[in-house]
Amino acid sequence: MPDPYVFVGPMLRRLDPECAHEATLAALAMGLAGHARWRPDPMLRVTRFGLDFPHPLGLAAGFDKDARVAGRMLALGFGFVEIGTVTPRPQPGNPRPRIFRLPADGALINRLGFNNKGLEVAGARLAARRGRGIVGANIGRNKDSSDAVADYVAGFRALAPHADYVTVNISSPNTPGLRDLQAVASLRPLLEALTAERAQAAGAVAQRPLLLKLAPDLADADAVAAAELALEVGLDGLIVSNTTIARPPDLGGPHAGESGGLSGRPLLARSTELLGIIHRETGDALPLVGVGGIASAADAYAKIRAGACLLQLYTALVYRGPALVHEIAQGLVALLRRDGFAGIEQARGVDAGKR
Ligand SMILES: Cc1cc2nc3c(=O)[nH]c(=O)nc-3n(C[C@H](O)[C@H](O)[C@H](O)COP(=O)(O)O)c2cc1C
């Protein structure tokens, strides 16, 4: 059967990007997108944080901010799905337009600013979810909050009971001051408050994996310091990376000058480089989720070889549609076999020592 996104994609791309996204979510919520008709090769399985991932490629945060379609995205073939970012109270985000396509660069710029319906809505949807598959919850703080730590603790308390893991997002560029939390002096009290909240939770929530998502714009040494702190306080992994505020000089098209976070192909090199640097410094102790610019099996494989055990993407889905997930999974199997690896674990980090 031909890939329907060959027809649907160009139609969606004639719409304003945010309208196209809303139409996509509505169609997904109605069940119009169907199911993947493939099964991942067993050599792609990954076990981390006590969770069994059928393959390593997940949907990155931001696509399903309010946990509307997590089950549908799993059905389309993703190995796991991260919902959010969710803030304690609902908030509208920045004025529109706030998402811009840069098709020649395979990129997007967004300055959404955590538009979302808040913890109550996301928590209720996650709690009502039936069906299998790994769903993580990404938490943030409200723009007008005066107590960031309290916001993240509230996020953990509300969503950890209903999610397979929780991601602490302090790296979006569109909430003023948010990324300052990445400095060790602010990060320590935040992470300690979260691990303390987790430690006194009841039942399985006391073991809920906590991940931290970093920005690619951190200086290498600052990213390594954040990673070492994450290890020290008992976090379970890092997500590397969020969008970038950097702009490559050759970025093209009418929207290249828009402010916000740049994602997609121009982010691939730096996010993979930073992943490698962190893996080199922290070794196998800290599981790393590689995200940023993945649009092919080769990109995914490069992140695994740099040190990722799991992967996520978002921007390439906009340009290529869900068939890309299968293409990457199949391509990864071929690349692992070509190089004589039995699975993801054997290939993980083999390039980390190289500069
Ligand atoms: C439109 C859009 C919205 C996003 N919203 C969030 C978000 O709410 N929280 C978050 O942690 N990351 C968010 N991201 C960042 C992605 O999760 C991902 O880290 C980044 O886009 C790099 O991956 P990619 O190049 O495959 O898109 C967003 C990205 C895009 C394009």
Q: What is the CATH number of the domain that holds 11?
A: 3.20.20.70
- Does residue 203 register a pLDDT over 90? yes
Q: Which atom of ligand 1 is nearest to the CA of 293?
A: 25
pLDDT in tens, 102-152: 999 999 999 999 999 999 999 999 999 988 899 999 999 999 999 999 999
When pLDDT is averaged across residues 70-84 and rounded to a whole number, the result is: 96
Going by pLDDT thresholds of 50, 70 and 90, the confidence category of residue 12 is: confident
When pLDDT is averaged across residues 332-336 and rounded to a whole number, the result is: 98
- Does residue 71 register a pLDDT over 90? yes
Burial of residue 144 (CB within 10 Å: 0-12, 13-18, 19+) is exposed
Helix (H, G, I), strand (E, B) or coil at 70: helix
- Ligand 1 center to 262 CA (angstroms): 9
| Spatial CB neighbours of 196, under 8 Å, sequence gap ≥ 6 | none
- Does residue 56 register a pLDDT over 60? yes
Pick from 15-24, 47-56, 221-230: least confident: 15-24
Question: In terms of pLDDT, which residue wins out, 33 or 83?
Answer: 83
What local confidence, expressed as pLDDT, does residue 232 receive? 96
What local confidence, expressed as pLDDT, does residue 131 receive? 83
| Annotated catalytic residue 172 | yes
What local confidence, expressed as pLDDT, does residue 6 receive? 78
Q: Which atom of ligand 1 is nearest to the CA of 242?
A: 19
Percent of the chain having pLDDT more than 90? Answer: 84
Would residue 353 count as lying in a domain?
no
What local confidence, expressed as pLDDT, does residue 178 receive? 80
| Spatial CB neighbours of 90, under 8 Å, sequence gap ≥ 6 | 116, 117, 118, 121
Question: In terms of pLDDT, which residue wins out, 290 or 3?
Answer: 290
Q: Highest mean pLDDT range out of 26-30, 174-178, 260-264?
A: 260-264
| Best CA proximity match to 43, nearest among 345, 348, 245, 290 | 345
Q: Going by CA atoms, what residue is nearest to atom 1 of ligand 1?
A: 110
What local confidence, expressed as pLDDT, does residue 124 receive? 98
Residue 15: Cβ within 10 Å count:
13
- Does residue 65 register a pLDDT over 60? yes
d(CA 177, CA 164): 28
- Ligand 1 center to 285 CA (angstroms): 26
Decide: 161 and 135 in contact? Cβ < 8 Å. Answer: no
- Ligand 1 center to 109 CA (angstroms): 10
Most informative mutation of 242, 251, 271, 299 for ligand 1 (most atoms within 8 A of CB): 242
When pLDDT is averaged across residues 67-96 and rounded to a whole number, the result is: 97
Would residue 352 count as lying in a domain?
no
Would residue 152 count as lying in a domain?
yes
Q: Quick one: angle between helices 148-159 and 184-199, nearest 10?
A: 30
- Ligand 1 center to 317 CA (angstroms): 12
- Ligand 1 center to 252 CA (angstroms): 20
Positive or negative: CA dihedral 336, 339, 341, 346: negative
> Left if phi > 0, otherwise alpha if psi is -120 to 50, otherwise beta: which for 338?
alpha
43: which DSSP letter? G
- Does residue 39 register a pLDDT over 70? yes
Would residue 354 count as lying in a domain?
no
Q: Going by CA atoms, what residue is nearest to atom 23 of ligand 1?
A: 292
Going by pLDDT thresholds of 50, 70 and 90, the confidence category of residue 160 is: very high
What local confidence, expressed as pLDDT, does residue 10 receive? 85
What local confidence, expressed as pLDDT, does residue 34 receive? 81
| Spatial CB neighbours of 160, under 8 Å, sequence gap ≥ 6 | 137, 166, 198, 201, 205, 208
Q: Which atom of ligand 1 is nearest to the CA of 140?
A: 9
Give the count of domains, the chain. 1
7: which DSSP letter? H
Would residue 311 count as lying in a domain?
yes
Would residue 355 count as lying in a domain?
no
- Does residue 189 register a pLDDT over 80? yes
Would residue 288 count as lying in a domain?
yes
Would residue 103 count as lying in a domain?
yes
Residue 264: Cβ within 10 Å count:
25
Q: Going by CA atoms, what residue is nearest to atom 30 of ligand 1?
A: 62
Most informative mutation of 263, 272, 291, 328 for ligand 1 (most atoms within 8 A of CB): 263
* DSSP letter for each residue of 124-172: HHHHH--S-SEEEEEE---TT-S-HHHHHHHHHHHHGGGSSEEEEE---
Residue 11: Cβ within 10 Å count:
11
Question: In terms of pLDDT, which residue wins out, 155 or 20?
Answer: 155
Residue ranges with strand state E in the chain: 46-48, 51-53, 57-59, 80-86, 99-102, 107-110, 134-139, 165-169, 210-214, 237-240, 261-264, 288-291, 310-313
Per the residue annotation, which of 145, 171, 172, 271 is the catalytic one?
Answer: 172
Q: In this structure, what are the phi and psi dihedrals at residue 295, rounded to the nearest 5 degrees?
A: -135, 5
What local confidence, expressed as pLDDT, does residue 1 receive? 62
Question: In terms of pLDDT, which residue wins out, 16 or 116?
Answer: 116
d(CA 31, CA 174): 32
Most informative mutation of 25, 243, 320 for ligand 1 (most atoms within 8 A of CB): 243
| Residue 161 lies in domain | 5-347
